[in-house]
């Protein structure tokens, strides 16, 4: 690795992640990697009022089925979600509905380029692609959800999913205007 510019010229700490460091959590042992926190999880943590590990588990590890069960007033099969109370579900039902839909879309958020010489078919056997979903139906659900959502945080997240879905369907000309509209809202 080498630097493109002199690190001594950078005084703003916001640029520190882009500077060369021989002590990086991404190249160290597992203990060091645990110190690196996910900004998205931290946003969800502030929004939901949970601790970091609970939030991480809910957003990244919990199944869509368990989240849907919680929104319907049922218990989740996953014991690690026992921290979610009926009061929590009542206060954050819209967020849980968003997470359930995001988990539905997540496996499809790929562009598989099998025509390229360096791609191997076995590498993509288990991956789904956004184009496998009914584009009009998903976009309709996301637009209706975005329009109906009154919470600014969740509205932005629905908008993100809308732009992301258009992007992974290679509808780039449609994704850009959507992103501008969402940013203005």
Task: Give tens-digit pLDDT for 54-71.
Answer: 999 999 999 999 999 999
pLDDT, the chain, mean: 82
CB neighbours of residue 99 within 10 Å: 23
The pLDDT score that the predictor gives to residue 177 is 72
Q: Looking up tokens 């205007």, which residue turns up? A: 177
Question: Is-contact 138 169, C-beta < 8 A?
Answer: no
What are 120's two structure tokens?
A: 């191997």
- Name the residue with higher pLDDT: 141 or 172: 141
pLDDT band at 1 (very low <50, low <70, confident <90, very high): very low
Give tens-digit pLDDT for 21-36: 655 555 555 544 456 6
pLDDT band at 174 (very low <50, low <70, confident <90, very high): confident
Question: For the chain, which residues make up each domain, given as ranges?
Answer: 1-36, 38-94, 109-185
Question: Is-contact 164 142, C-beta < 8 A?
Answer: no
Question: How far is CA 40 from each of CA 29, 45, 52, 90, rounded to the nearest angstrom?
Answer: 23, 9, 11, 23
Give tens-digit pLDDT for 63-102: 999 999 999 999 999 999 999 999 999 999 999 999 999 9
Q: How far is it, in rounded angstroms, from Cα 139 to Cα 166?
A: 8
Q: For the chain, what percent of residues have pLDDT higher than 70?
A: 68
């Amino acid at each position: 690795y080498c630097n493109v510019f002199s690190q001594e010229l950078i005084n703003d700490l916001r640029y520190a992640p882009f500077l060369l460091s021989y002590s990086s959590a991404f190249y160290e042992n597992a203990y060091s990697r645990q110190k690196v926190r996910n900004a998205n999880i931290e946003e969800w943590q502030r929004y939901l009022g949970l601790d970091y590990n609970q939030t991480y588990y809910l957003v990244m590890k919990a199944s869509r089925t368990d989240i849907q069960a919680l929104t319907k007033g049922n218990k989740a099969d996953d014991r690690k979600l026992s921290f979610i109370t009926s009061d929590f579900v009542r206060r954050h039902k819209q967020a849980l509905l968003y997470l359930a839909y995001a988990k539905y879309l997540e496996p499809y958020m790929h562009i598989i380029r099998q025509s390229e010489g360096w791609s191997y078919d076995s590498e993509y056997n288990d991956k789904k692609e956004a184009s496998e979903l009914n584009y009009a139906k998903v976009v309709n659900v996301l637009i209706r959800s975005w329009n109906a959502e009154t919470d600014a945080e969740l509205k932005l997240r629905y908008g993100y999913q809308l732009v992301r879905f258009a992007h992974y369907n290679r509808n780039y000309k449609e994704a850009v205007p959507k992103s501008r509209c969402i940013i203005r809202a």
